[in-house]
Amino acid sequence: MLKDLRNFKESLLFAVCLLVSGYSNASNGDDVPRIILALGRLHPLILHLPIGALLLTFFLDIVGRIRKNYPKQIIKYALGFSSLFSIMACVFGYFLSLEDGYSGKTLDIHFWTGILSATLITLLFLLCDKENKQLKRLFFPLFVGTIVSISVAGHYGSVLTRGDNFLTEYIKAPPKLQTIEHIDSLNMYDNVVLKIFDDKCTQCHNTTKRKGDLALISKESLLEGGESGDVISLGNSRESLLYKHIMLPISDEDHMPPEGKPQLTKDELWLIKYWLDNSGEVDNKVVAIAKNDTLNKLLKKYLVFEEKHIEEAALGAIQDVEDEGFLVRKLVPTEPELWVKYNNKVIAKEAVKTLVDLKDQIVELDLSNTSLTDDMTSGLRKLKNLEKLELNNTQITDKALKHLKHLKALKILNLVGNDISEQGLENLLTSITPEHVYAWKTKIDQRLAQKLSNDFDVKINSGVTGFVETTQLKVPFMVTKKALFVDTISIKLDSKLRNTKIFYTLNGDEPDTTALQYTKPIMLDTNATIAVKAFKKGWNPSETLKRDFYKVNHKVSDYTITHQPEKQYPGSDKLFDLELGTLNFKDDKWTGFLGNDINTVIDLGAVKPVTKIAVDCLGQPKQWILFPTAVEVYASNNKASGFKRIGTMKTNKDNTNDMPLIERFFVEIPKTEARYYKVVVKNPKVLPKGHEGEGNASWIFVSEIMFW
């Protein structure tokens, strides 16, 4: 009978081994029969039986040996009981492992130690009534080994279900409470969401137990998603699978966390939604939230904030500081923190001393561009909450930095333009670690700044290099605007930049450094094309500026005109003012005629020779301004009659240009002497076919009529 049972048990063990090996390559929970999975759920019930029985047997074994009254029979039955249930536990355990979410190294260890334990227990059962002396001696060590084996199996089993922290959680030093000084700059994922996951989700969603193939223990694992793909959709909680599951009604099978496990609170749900809706990246920061914002309130409830309590400043103290010439402002009106800035250049030691009365409240202090010296800075050490200190362009040296060693809260330090050395800053950085130090225009160059940055993990800025390589000089500025003159003209140039040399030629040739150098205004008494170029050491020479200067022979002062110009672009006197128009038709130099020719009679005062006449015109078809079709010149010695045509110039302009253009139309005249000259500038009169204003009257714009 006993033998049969033994045989049966052996074959069952074999069958299980076969079953295990047959299934071990398998597959997920989907194709496992439900009955198998149901049996698997009995594993936690069964597994405690062999453990208890085995321990009791061990106890009886030792007591029996000590009392010299060994209960052989009881031990045999007990071991039989343990063996049976340990094998069942193995089988059911295997079934349980076929469910989703169990995998990895921990499971493997549990699996094999479990089988080892069952095997050892069965072996003990087979050995316990053997009379062989050697086997008897082996029995006790084997028993101890079995206890060890089952302990190991049990431990890994508990790691599987409760996480590897379960046993040691209260043995290890308690984890530091998350203390955050400001809600500002808090990382929503690291500080809030991960904490929620840790509390409520990672028991089942970790790397050892990966329910639904999802682990929520890190940013990376979160982004990997689970068996249904991505679980979060950043910027949109409604599209996020994770949010959908936690929002399902608790009766729903897919609701998370599963019924019976600790549920997410309303606040936690809100925080997760906020995080998903407002993030483009997982670990976005929360920046600047108003005091009464919902997020602010929830976070305050949820996280432990290191409350930095600062008293409100006394109004009298603020008044005293303001009386010393400081500007005092609250950073936020409802909070006590202050921003203080010195308003003048000259600062006195007494003034700096008054700041001590606000030592708790000042978080930002600006003493830049003042006459601050080292001996005034000793009081600064008391400003224990100071986060930003601007000392740029003062007269401090390394000595002042010694006082700053006590400013533990300092985040930004501006030392630009001071006599600060590497040693001075290095000494300071051994005591405090601000985030950012500005050290441009100090003795600390780029290389030293880089070194200090690396050594102390502080961003040190020592100015910009390599931004501009070689800069080209700008063409000299021609102060003289006029291009026409009667007798002489003085041309003034300005290089704009100190120590720039200007060279020029009068014939339009490209100037170099051997050309004429500009030292005083250039006097011209004849036509010239001035070419100008600027040179300076360390700069590329400028481009060349060329400008034509015309000497005209006659300054017109007496004339009549048949059709007056339109009133928007008036002033027929501008036709003879020796000032040329620019490409801007509204520049007040142009005279505009709509649909009319210019018909003007000029009185030169006496009979005078004229050889050439020029008219400056603007063409800008988009503005309905066309070039004239022709310029005609007549001469007479009688103001009212007897005009004889002496020259005509057909312009042949097609008015198709997109951009405004200025053209000068010359009319060559066979040598004529007369007192009165008539100039007619022919307007095309109507806008041509194809123009957007086709059929409407056309404009002509003239800035100057010149006589030679």
Partner 1 sequence: MEELSQHFINNNRRHFLKKMGLGIGGIAAASLLDPFSSVAGSNPADELALKLPHFAPKAKRVIYLFQSGGPSQLELFDYKPLLDKLRGEDLPDSVRNGQRLTGMTSGQDKFPLVGSNFKFDQYGQSRAWVSSLMPYTAKVVDELCFIKSMHTEAINHDPAITFFQTGSQQAGRPSMGSWMSYGLGSLNENLPTFTVLLSRGTGRPFSQPLYSRLWGNGFLSSLHQGVQFRSGKDPVLYLKDPEGMSRSERRKMLDHINELNQKQEAEFGDPEINSRIAQYEMAYRMQTSVPDTMNIDDEPEHIIQMYGMDALTPGTYAANCLLARRMVERDVRFVQLYHMGWDQHFDLPSQIEKQAKDIDQATAALIMDLKQRGLLEDTLVIWGGEFGRTNYSQGVLTETNYGRDHHPKCFTMFMAGGGVKPGFTYGETDDFGYNIVKDPVHVHDLQATVMHLMGVDHTKFTYKHQGRRFRLTDVSGHVVHDLLS
Residues 546, 529 contacting (CB under 8 angstroms): yes
How far apart are CB 231 and partner 1 at their closest, in Å?
A: 20
**Cα(444)–Cα(413) distance, rounded to whole angstroms?**
14
Task: Please count the other Cβ atoms lying within 10 Å of the Cβ belonging to residue 195.
Answer: 16
Nearer to partner 1, 58 or 585 (CB): 585
> What are the residues facing 700 on neighbouring strands?
593
How far apart are CB 322 and partner 1 at their closest, in Å?
A: 7
Nearer to partner 1, 210 or 388 (CB): 388
Measured CA distances, 329 to 182, 339, 382 (Å) = 20, 5, 20
How far apart are CB 705 and partner 1 at their closest, in Å?
A: 24
- Rounded to 10 degrees, the C-alpha dihedral 357/359/362/363 comes to 180
Measured CA distances, 174 to 85, 159, 169, 181, 381 (Å) = 39, 20, 8, 21, 35
Question: Tokens representing 369?
Answer: 């561009």
- Cα three-residue angle 207-210-215, rounded to 5 degrees: 60
How far apart are CB 15 and partner 1 at their closest, in Å?
A: 59
Q: Beta strand pairing status for 412-414 and 388-390?
A: parallel
How far apart are CB 624 and partner 1 at their closest, in Å?
A: 15
How far apart are CB 464 and partner 1 at their closest, in Å?
A: 4
How far apart are CB 688 and partner 1 at their closest, in Å?
A: 18
Nearer to partner 1, 90 or 338 (CB): 338
Nearer to partner 1, 148 or 314 (CB): 314
Nearer to partner 1, 468 or 523 (CB): 468
**Cα(56)–Cα(66) distance, rounded to whole angstroms?**
15
Residues 127, 119 contacting (CB under 8 angstroms): no
Nearer to partner 1, 153 or 358 (CB): 358
How far apart are CB 412 and partner 1 at their closest, in Å?
A: 6
Residues 668, 676 contacting (CB under 8 angstroms): no
Nearer to partner 1, 227 or 587 (CB): 587
Please state the length of the chain.
Answer: 708
At 560 the three-state DSSP class reads: strand
Residues 449, 461 contacting (CB under 8 angstroms): yes
How far apart are CB 451 and partner 1 at their closest, in Å?
A: 18
The residues that touch partner 1, with contacts defined as CB under 8 A, are 184, 235, 278-281, 284-291, 293, 315, 318-319, 322, 327-335, 337, 341, 343, 388, 390, 392, 412, 414, 416, 436, 438, 440, 461, 463-464, 467-468, 471-474, 477, 496-498, 539, 583-586, 658-660
Question: Tokens representing 512?
Answer: 């170099």
How far apart are CB 707 and partner 1 at their closest, in Å?
A: 30
Residue 513 half-sphere exposure, CB side, CA atoms within 13 Å? Answer: 7
Residues 13, 87 contacting (CB under 8 angstroms): yes
**Cα(418)–Cα(397) distance, rounded to whole angstroms?**
7
Nearer to partner 1, 153 or 363 (CB): 363
Question: Tokens representing 139?
Answer: 């029995």
Nearer to partner 1, 344 or 557 (CB): 344
Nearer to partner 1, 496 or 644 (CB): 496
How far apart are CB 188 and partner 1 at their closest, in Å?
A: 9
Nearer to partner 1, 585 or 701 (CB): 585
**Cα(488)–Cα(175) distance, rounded to whole angstroms?**
91
DSSP string, 372-392: --GGGGGGGGG-TT--EEE-T
